[in-house]
Structure formats: C-alpha cells, structure tokens
Amino acid sequence: MAEAPEHVECLIIGSGPAGYTAAIYAARADMKPVLYEGMQPGGQLTITTDVENYPGYPDGIMGPEMMDNFKKQAVRLGTDVRFGMVTKVDFSEEGKHRVWVDGSTEIIAESVIISTGASARWLGIESETRLNGSGVSACAVCDGFFYRGMDVAIVGGGDTAAEEASYLAKICNKVYMLVRRDEMRASKAMQHRVENTPNIEILWNSETDEILGDTVVEAVRVHNIQTGEKMEFPISGFFVAIGHTPNTDIFKGFIDMDDQGYIITKPDSSKTNIPGVFACGDAQDKIYRQAVTAAGSGCMAALDAERYLSHRKSVPA
C-alpha cells in the first residue's frame, strides 16, 4: 500500500539566496518550513568564485561558502532542508498543493514558495565547461571586477550582453563583443551605447570555436560565419550572455508565466495566480538577478506566506 502523503505547512522549492532567505523567515515565524534543495544545491552562486557585492562581507566571500552559510542559518533556525528534486506539482486544490519529490514521494503543502531560480544558457563547447570559474563566467556584474585593466570577450547580442559589455568597458581595458549575426537583438538605445563606447569592439557574424588556456582563460578563437575567416586574440575573461532560462517548467499549466517562462507575481508582492503559492528570486525576476535582490524577494515570499497561513487559520473553512 502506498504511504500516506506527508503534510507540510510551508514547502520551499529551491536552495539559492531566495529559497534560504524564505526559509530563515518562515522558520522564525514557526511555519516549520521544509526546503528541497533541487538539482544544484545552493543555486547559481555555487559556480561563482568570490562574491564581493553581497553586503555584510567586507572582505568578500566565496560563493559556495556563502551558500553554506545561508543553509546553516536556515537549519539552525529550524528549517528541514532535504536533498531532493521536485519533479511534479498539482496546484488545483487550494490549501492542498500536491508536490512530488524525485518522481514518487508525495507531499501535501498548505503553502508553497517557489524559488527554483534560473539557469544561464551556455554555448555548449568543451572549453567553456572546463574553464568555468577560471575565466569563464555568465555574470559580468559578479565577476567583471576580477578583470580590471585586462582584455575580455562577451558573447551575445541581446540587452544583457549589451548592458554587461558597457559595464565591463568601465572596468576592463578592452571588450570584444561577439555577435553571431550582423545585427543585435538589443534595444536601439543599448546598441547605440555599445557602438559609441571606444573600448568595445563588436565582432559581427562571429561564432566562438574554442576558449584557449589550460587552467585559466588565455585567448579565444572565433570564426566569421560569412567569410569563414578565423581569428584568435588574447583575453583573460570570457563572458557568456546569451540569455537565461527560468527553472519553471514543472509549474506550467498551473502558474501564470510570461512568454519566457518567468513567473508572474502580483504587483508589490510575491503572490502568484494561485492562492497560497508564492514565487521569488530568479524564477520571477529577469531584470535584477542579483543574490541580494533574490534574498529580498525570498523574505517577501515568506512574509506573504505567513500572512496567508494566519488568515486561513483565522477564517473557518
């Protein structure tokens, strides 16, 4: 006979800064949160090195260590942190949100906080994976500082790539922007800005063949897709800005999302279209995408969930 599903007051899905901050607040509010860590425990920060822009760490901190601290704080305050991946949900009955972990274990949650984050898109070449964290990064704001005065390259032609190229241009000596077509997807204003920044060189119709270097990035080899011409130039940092994908597939059909899959929350809140289901962090934010903003929205989600649960308790069913 199948085991009866476990009942949980507050279920948190995802273990980045948003999820752990929600857990810290939910635990302190006695909501007995259960948090499932997901596929990448600790989230995107576990693949970065130094974090220098999170307030409270005057000397910076390594990304994995910071996430370990988030976890320790959430556990110390009473969060039940579990290793496991939520694979399916059914949010059709209010107050009885059904969630399946690792394909089988069923949980019934009174409230759910979605903090599943987003994943950077990557080019998919071998050297990109090998040198990730050793010169290859998907976040200029996080890692650009380490390349002060050096030459770097950034791939992409959207608003993120254009914005990050401008950001890098203020720090670095030279920025090569590798755009795969002969035009950019970025807004005209952003295009204008990069085209008028003297130390940004745009290489049109350019595709990356390989990032070169044994242990750190030393150069990049690209080819022009129209002429076939190959070019190799020395760089110290290689940034990938070809978009992010929110990790929200399992919620499709229940939760309202925009056309890119980002969860839509009601203005000035973390409420989704389903009462009792809240969203925070990069799964719902495509604009700021910073650890500190994710943590702030995780706090909002826990406060919203607490109010929701208190209201349910005070109003007879």
Catalytic residues: 139, 142-143
Q: Could you say whether residue 154 binds ligand NDP (CB under 6 A)?
A: no
Question: Given the rule CB under 6 A, which of 139-147, 151-159, 275-283, 308-316 is the region that contacts ligand NDP?
Answer: 151-159
Inter-CA distances, 94 with 97, 270, 317, Å:
7, 17, 11
Question: Given the rule CB under 6 A, which of 70-78, 150-158, 167-175, 197-205 is the region that contacts ligand NDP?
Answer: 150-158
Strands 200-203 and 174-178 turn out to be: parallel
Q: Could you say whether residue 155 binds ligand NDP (CB under 6 A)?
A: yes
Q: Which residue, 148 or 181, is less far from ligand NDP as judged by CB?
A: 181
Q: Which of 48, 79, 137, 160 binds ligand NDP (CB under 6 A)?
A: 160
SS (H, E, C) the chain: CCCCCEEEEEEEECCCHHHHHHHHHHHHCCCCCEEECCCCCCHHHHHCCEECCCCCCCCCEEHHHHHHHHHHHHHHCCCEEECCCEEEEECCCCCCEEEEECCCEEEEEEEEEECCCEEECCCCCHHHHHCECCCEECCHHHHHHHHCCCEEEEECCCHHHHHHHHHHHHHCCEEEEECCCCCCCCCHHHHHHHHCCCCEEEECCEEEEEEECCCCCCEEEEEECCCCCEEEEECCEEEECCCEEECCHHHCCCCCECCCCCECCCCCCCECCCCCEEECHHHCCCCCCCHHHHHHHHHHHHHHHHHHHHHHHHCCC
Q: Which residue, 173 or 260, is less far from ligand NDP as judged by CB?
A: 260
Q: Which residue, 174 or 185, is less far from ligand NDP as judged by CB?
A: 185
Name the residue with the smallest CB distance to ligand NDP.
Answer: 158
Q: Give long-range contacts, CB 8 A cutoff, 24+ apart: 88-93.
A: 88/250, 89/250, 89/251, 89/254, 90/254, 91/251, 91/254, 91/255, 91/274, 91/277, 92/254
Q: Which residue, 24 or 178, is less far from ligand NDP as judged by CB?
A: 178
State in angstroms the smallest separation of the CB of 111 from ligand NDP: 29
Q: Could you say whether residue 242 binds ligand NDP (CB under 6 A)?
A: yes
Q: Could you say whether residue 275 binds ligand NDP (CB under 6 A)?
A: no
CA distance 40 to 31: 25
State in angstroms the smallest separation of the CB of 123 from ligand NDP: 5
| Contact track, ligand NDP, 281-310, x by CB under 6 A | -----x------------------------
Q: Could you say whether residue 222 binds ligand NDP (CB under 6 A)?
A: no
| Contact track, ligand NDP, 163-192, x by CB under 6 A | x----------------xx---x-------
Question: Given the rule CB under 6 A, which of 48-56, 70-78, 143-151, 160-168 is the region that contacts ligand NDP?
Answer: 160-168
Q: Which residue, 164 or 306, is less far from ligand NDP as judged by CB?
A: 164
Q: Which of 156, 246, 276, 296 binds ligand NDP (CB under 6 A)?
A: 156
| Contact track, ligand NDP, 33-62, x by CB under 6 A | ------------------------------
| 78-117: contacts with ligand NDP (CB under 6 A) | none
Which residue ranges make up the site for ligand NDP (CB under 6 A)? 123, 155-161, 163, 180-181, 185, 242-243, 286
